[in-house]
A and B are shown apart, each in its own frame.
Chain A
């Protein structure tokens, strides 16, 4: 075989085919980069050796094992392990394919440089280059491995569970196996099963209302405090500012649990105080009336969330140039007019991305609901669906997995959250500077 390459670019096809036939082959025979070529080749050999077990794992993932009621529980097929292993194997195969693509592209790049320079890089050059080439790989490797195995694989697994019947009481490994059921769970959630459909509708609406209310109240609450402290020019502004930051500094688990106890209907301090003062005759059901509890959630979230936006607005307001105000004042604009026409639009414009981010955060704000109400109070369908009056989608997912063991329905909810929130993430990506400048 002719291992000489033409410098006019006509050997491109030859390089391409050789590099596709076996990983690293063209590095070894054409470019005399033996170390790289052998490393690539070893990788492919390793992959080829494992092909039988890879196929086995993927078959397991497709079948999810078969019921074996006659053998001991320990030896039965565990569908969930099979599914997770399958997803991991797919991830590894994807990484291998990616490296393959990189090796082919690398070979073509090498050839392009050869055509320009009419010679191979000297040994000294390529050694110097090793550090340069290896750095991005070494830098990214830990992140990629961790994210793939602890974030991506679990999420893909969760998404796949939405298409199985993984749920109590009949399909919980290791006693029983799990089967693929297609879109059955989605069908049940969206009209197929009246109880679940009603619960889903109720929780989804409340999640959206909660997300919007929590964001809006905290944002404007924080902004009002920042503006009052900034504009009123009172002597003690820094003192008040420090006090108002306290809720942000206290760990939210602590503050939510404290509020939960203070607002307890029968023995909470709030009700006892109000009764002692004679303001009310019977305890107010702060957390046990569904509507009242929702209101309390938003209010307490305002307590915990306004300091963040207060700090943020203060930061942006102090960054607005004094010249702008000066000019407005010379033109005789009133204080309120300046605020309405200058401060507010500028602050809104600057903090808009954060409002969106805060909204997606609130949709997923597990702690604010879980520690304050735990999803309670109980409503009509709570016993069968485990969705309480203040449960949002994420806390419901938690209840479904931990209490009811309905993993399949929990996964349907996770998929729904994804469908709703993914556009926000993509939007966020598109407006970053690097994306706009075509850098990525």
Chain B
């Protein structure tokens, strides 16, 4: 009898704890959704009860009609897709070479990549700006893509290299004896086996540009080259507060992200755990 009471109390405590956490987690998210549909513009006029002031879709209309939201979205998508694709190609090629070949200065090259990846790339902002200026890459999407790509290489090459080290070399040696070229081995044998880590690499380098603010601000000047982070940030600066417009725009980005993460949760968990924990 006493045992049962303890069990019930236990369950109540666990549920109370989980519900409180849920409240904490959902709190800002609920307000983003309600603000996106709330009339008015600033956060000061937002009802403290979600959806308390009624529902309107005027902010979405405003985004599409009066701002360059679609252009921002398109630019960000181009940058994200290109960065992700190029990072996969460049990093996995380099990782394959590091994993399978012996050559002069290999150790020092790998060491320097590991040390380079501890810096946030904006530490070298001034120099990157001048270098982009020299190659006419300022105010262009490809300039920004190059910066992201280069910044992604050190860490990701390491990550893929560690993964490739776990794939037995006998596989590609056998193919080599059969006369396959290195490139063919890489494309037809190594890449398919390394798919989990490549997927993870693709996802992580695809999502990063959506959230970055510093480099787009530095590189992109014209209004039709802005990215989402820049555009959204400008809704809630110190000078103006258009929280509801911001919320509407943020909601439209967050929804695909949430769906995407829900779908790829498993891959992310295994890759996150697997790649780092194994070493």
- Give the B-binding residues of A (Cβ under 8 A): 80-81, 84, 87-88, 98, 101-102, 105, 131-132, 135-136, 139-140, 142-144, 146-147, 149-155, 157-158, 161, 225, 228-229, 232, 234, 240, 242-255, 257-262, 264, 266-269, 272-273, 276, 303, 308, 311-312, 314-316, 319, 350-351, 353-354, 357, 360, 364, 366-367, 370-371, 394, 397-398, 401, 407, 414, 417-418, 421-422, 424-426, 428-429, 431-434, 439-440
- CB atoms of A155 and B116 under 8 A apart: yes
- CB atoms of B269 and A314 under 8 A apart: yes
Instruction: Report B-chain residues with C-beta under 8 Å of the C-beta of A428.
Output: 114
Chain A, Cβ-Cβ closest to B115: A425
Most central of A151, A350, A354, A367 by chain B CB within 10 Å: A151
A-B contact count (CB 8 A): 273
Chain B, Cβ-Cβ closest to A275: B48
Tally B residues with Cβ within 8 Å of A: 100
Expressed in whole angstroms, the Cα–Cα distance for A276 and B48 within the complex equals 9
| B128 beta carbon closer than 8 Å to chain A | yes
Expressed in whole angstroms, the Cα–Cα distance for A246 and B107 within the complex equals 40
- CB atoms of A397 and B123 under 8 A apart: yes
Interface residues of B: mostly helix, strand, loop or mixed? Answer: helix
CB distance from A417 to the nearest CB of B (A): 7
Expressed in whole angstroms, the Cα–Cα distance for A273 and B277 within the complex equals 44
Most central of B105, B117, B130 by chain A CB within 10 Å: B130
Which residues of B (104-130) have their CB < 8 Å from a CB of A?
104-107, 109-128, 130
**Which 6 residue pairs of A and B lie closest in terms of their CB atoms, listed nearest first?**
A154-B124, A150-B150, A267-B44, A154-B127, A249-B261, A315-B273
| B265 beta carbon closer than 8 Å to chain A | yes
Expressed in whole angstroms, the Cα–Cα distance for A41 and B195 within the complex equals 42
- CB atoms of B120 and A394 under 8 A apart: yes
| B73 beta carbon closer than 8 Å to chain A | no
- CB atoms of A254 and B232 under 8 A apart: yes
Query: Are A429 and B125 also in contact (CB < 8 A) when A146-B146, A243-B22, A253-B232 are?
Result: no
Of A269, A308, A426, the contact of B31 (CB 8 Å cutoff): A269
Instruction: Report B-chain residues with C-beta under 8 Å of the C-beta of A351.
Output: 277
- CB atoms of B96 and A367 under 8 A apart: no
- CB atoms of B28 and A258 under 8 A apart: yes
CB distance from A352 to the nearest CB of B (A): 9
Instruction: Report A-chain residues with C-beta under 8 Å of the C-beta of B67.
Output: none
| B220 beta carbon closer than 8 Å to chain A | no
| B147 beta carbon closer than 8 Å to chain A | yes
- CB atoms of A433 and B31 under 8 A apart: no
Of A80, A242, A440, the contact of B126 (CB 8 Å cutoff): A80
| B213 beta carbon closer than 8 Å to chain A | yes
Of A101, A248, A254, A354, the contact of B250 (CB 8 Å cutoff): A254
Expressed in whole angstroms, the Cα–Cα distance for A80 and B214 within the complex equals 21
- CB atoms of B131 and A149 under 8 A apart: yes
CB distance from A80 to the nearest CB of B (A): 7
- CB atoms of A422 and B90 under 8 A apart: no
CB distance from A113 to the nearest CB of B (A): 15
Of A80, A140, A155, the contact of B124 (CB 8 Å cutoff): A155
Expressed in whole angstroms, the Cα–Cα distance for A167 and B87 within the complex equals 35
Expressed in whole angstroms, the Cα–Cα distance for A232 and B113 within the complex equals 44
Query: Are A143 and B153 also in contact (CB < 8 A) when A244-B25, A354-B276 are?
Result: yes
CB distance from B1 to the nearest CB of A (A): 20
Chain B, Cβ-Cβ closest to A105: B104
Of A131, A161, A273, A418, the contact of B119 (CB 8 Å cutoff): A418
Instruction: Report A-chain residues with C-beta under 8 Å of the C-beta of B101.
Output: 135-136
Query: Are A257 and B232 also in contact (CB < 8 A) when A269-B46, A311-B269 are?
Result: yes
Expressed in whole angstroms, the Cα–Cα distance for A303 and B24 within the complex equals 8
Expressed in whole angstroms, the Cα–Cα distance for A146 and B232 within the complex equals 30
- CB atoms of A364 and B120 under 8 A apart: yes
CB distance from B9 to the nearest CB of A (A): 13
Of A143, A153, A267, A439, the contact of B91 (CB 8 Å cutoff): A143
Query: Are A261 and B118 also in contact (CB < 8 A) when A139-B96, A243-B22 are?
Result: no
Expressed in whole angstroms, the Cα–Cα distance for A144 and B90 within the complex equals 10
Instruction: Report B-chain residues with C-beta under 8 Å of the C-beta of A350.
Output: 273, 277
- CB atoms of A98 and B105 under 8 A apart: yes
- CB atoms of B31 and A149 under 8 A apart: no
CB distance from B173 to the nearest CB of A (A): 13
Instruction: Report B-chain residues with C-beta under 8 Å of the C-beta of A149.
Output: 131, 150
Instruction: Report A-chain residues with C-beta under 8 Å of the C-beta of B24.
Output: 303
The 28 sampled A-B contact pairs (Cβ below 8 Å) are A80-B130, A81-B130, A101-B105, A135-B181, A139-B94, A140-B97, A146-B150, A149-B131, A150-B151, A151-B116, A154-B124, A154-B126, A228-B18, A243-B22, A248-B261, A251-B257, A253-B233, A267-B44, A269-B48, A311-B273, A312-B272, A316-B277, A364-B120, A366-B214, A367-B213, A432-B162, A433-B165, A433-B279
